[in-house]
């Protein structure tokens, strides 16, 4: 370990645990869709609407929590989010109808994710390390976020099968108590002097100037648009893959195993793309991820699934899953600097979450209307290929213009 990282190791571990627990549990909620909807007599589209609202709340609140972190510090925002996440899971575990599912799994967990998940954790990690190590460290922290689904999905599925879905969600409540100390340690970043990029940046300027600069930069707008499709594909999978496998007559544990495999290979992919982002164009690598993901989706859904094909598909998707996180975070720092990173990255993530809304809710609507997921996956593939190609083409000729001087 580099001696320069030892003083900030508690911060990096705290950020990694925030990623691990929040992302892992959130990605595993689809495991409870079938038993929950059958038990409390709501439809698949009702449940997916709650997950879609979760993603919208997360996305639209992310720029706000990022801006608040500039004013108040990261620790109070992350601690509030940790407590809210645990409370949202508790409300979901006690749900008796659509209103409580919407409140717990939708609004409360969505708001909590805006305070503790990827954008905040990676912003904390970015501030704790020097520029030369940043992309690699972001990859390591993102890889830690993959451990969550590797652990949470099998735990939740096992508890749900043995004791019912309510105790499965209750197990997540206990697991997520670890978010609170993780937020405290990650919040030590507030006491560090800001590590500034070597190039020009948005410095101590106003919120309005930062917003105008982000919204007028074509490179950022293209990246945010492609991120929309990223959210659509991934949340479609995490929400609907368990249902799709059940329709195809697969063992219920296969969906949990698939999510676990995604988490395992996610670690390798995050590490690789964190390393690669320090050597090649981050935007070009993002486009490559979207094209490869869409190709894997098409290859998997075009033929009936088997246990072997499902696990191979999960491994490929896992490698390509969270590798976007260090690339997006690093690209935002390169474009705009560190001060407003959490807020500007939140703007891009808002686009991602609108796509997530369509992936979760739109997939449920299409399934209820057509009785199959065929049209849903075809649309996801077509949109992913288009976004990936545009992102790669745009990355090749782009030259960064001089940055705005601090106000």
User: Domain locations in the chain?
Assistant: 3-189+202-395
| CA pair distance 163, 141, nearest whole angstrom | 33
CA atoms within 13 A on the CB side of 164: 8
Question: Is 119 in contact with 224 (CB distance < 8 Å)?
Answer: no
pLDDT value at residue 87:
94
Has domain 3-189+202-395 been given CATH number 3.30.70.20?
no
Task: Please identify which residue in the block is written with the tokens 């925002």.
Answer: 77
**Residue 93 host element (H or E):** helix 74-93
Question: Is 329 in contact with 205 (CB distance < 8 Å)?
Answer: no
CA angle 102/108/112 to nearest 5° reads 145
pLDDT value at residue 194:
56
pLDDT value at residue 203:
52
| CA pair distance 254, 402, nearest whole angstrom | 51
pLDDT value at residue 398:
46
Q: What is each CA distance from 122 to 96, 195, 346, in whole angstroms?
A: 36, 14, 11
3-class DSSP assignment, residue 347? helix
| CA pair distance 34, 92, nearest whole angstrom | 14
The DSSP-derived string for 185-246 is HHGGGGGSPP---SS----S--HHHHHHHHHT-HHHHHHHHHHHHHHHHHHHHHHHHHHHHH
| CA pair distance 112, 245, nearest whole angstrom | 30
Task: Please identify which residue in the block is written with the tokens 């990223």.
Answer: 230
φ/ψ region of 337 (left if φ > 0, alpha if ψ in -120 to 50, else beta) reads left
pLDDT value at residue 216:
66
pLDDT tens for the chain, residues 1 to 407: 455 667 778 888 888 888 888 888 887 787 787 788 888 878 777 887 888 788 788 888 888 888 888 788 889 999 999 999 999 999 998 888 888 989 988 899 999 999 998 778 888 887 777 766 777 777 777 777 667 766 777 777 777 777 888 888 888 898 889 999 999 998 888 777 655 544 445 555 666 666 677 666 777 777 887 888 888 888 777 777 777 777 777 776 777 777 778 777 877 787 788 778 777 788 888 888 888 988 988 888 888 878 888 888 888 888 887 777 778 877 777 777 666 667 777 777 788 878 877 777 777 777 777 777 778 777 888 888 888 888 887 765 544 443 444 44
pTM (2 d.p.): 0.72
> What sign does the dihedral 227-228-231-232 (CA atoms) show?
negative
pLDDT value at residue 197:
46
3-class DSSP assignment, residue 181? helix
């Amino acid at each position: 370990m580099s001696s320069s990282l030892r003083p900030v190791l508690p911060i990096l571990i705290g950020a990694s645990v925030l990623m691990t627990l929040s992302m892992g549990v959130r990605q595993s909620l689809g495991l409870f869709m079938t038993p929950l909807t059958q038990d409390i007599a709501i439809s698949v589209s009702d449940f997916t609407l709650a997950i879609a609202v979760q993603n919208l709340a997360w996305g639209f609140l992310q720029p706000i929590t990022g801006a608040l972190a500039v004013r108040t510090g990261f620790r109070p925002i992350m601690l509030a989010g940790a407590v809210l996440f645990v409370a949202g899971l508790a409300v979901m575990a006690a749900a008796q109808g659509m209103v409580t599912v919407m409140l717990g799994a939708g609004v409360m967990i969505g708001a909590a994710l805006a305070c503790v998940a990827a954008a905040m954790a990676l912003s904390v990690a970015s501030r704790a390390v020097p520029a030369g190590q940043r992309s690699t460290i972001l990859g390591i922290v993102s890889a830690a976020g993959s451990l969550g689904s590797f652990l949470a999905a099998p735990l939740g599925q096992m508890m749900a099968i043995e004791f019912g879905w309510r105790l499965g969600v209750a197990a997540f409540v206990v697991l997520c108590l670890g978010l609170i100390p993780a937020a405290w340690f990650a919040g030590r970043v507030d006491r560090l002097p800001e590590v500034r990029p070597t190039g020009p940046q948005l410095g101590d300027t106003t919120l309005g100037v930062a917003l105008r600069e982000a919204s007028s930069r074509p490179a950022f707008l293209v990246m945010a648009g492609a991120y929309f499709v990223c959210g659509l594909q991934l949340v479609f999978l995490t929400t609907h893959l368990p249902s799709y496998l059940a329709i195809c007559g697969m063992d219920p544990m296969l969906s949990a195993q698939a999510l676990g495999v995604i988490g395992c290979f996610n670690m390798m992919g995050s590490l690789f793309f964190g390393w690669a982002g320090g050597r090649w164009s981050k935007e070009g690598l993002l486009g490559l991820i979207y094209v490869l993901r869409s190709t894997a989706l098409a290859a998997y859904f075009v033929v009936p699934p088997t246990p072997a094909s499902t696990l191979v598909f999960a491994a490929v998707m896992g490698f390509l899953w969270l590798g976007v996180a260090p690339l997006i975070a690093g690209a935002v720092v390169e474009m705009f600097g560190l001060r407003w990173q959490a807020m500007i990255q939140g703007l891009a993530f808002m686009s991602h979450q609108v796509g997530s809304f369509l992936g979760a809710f739109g997939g449920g609507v299409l399934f209820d209307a057509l009785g199959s997921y065929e049209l849903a996956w075809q649309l996801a593939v077509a949109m992913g290929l288009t976004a990936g190609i545009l992102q790669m083409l745009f990355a090749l000729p782009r030259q960064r213009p001089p940055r705005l001087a601090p106000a």
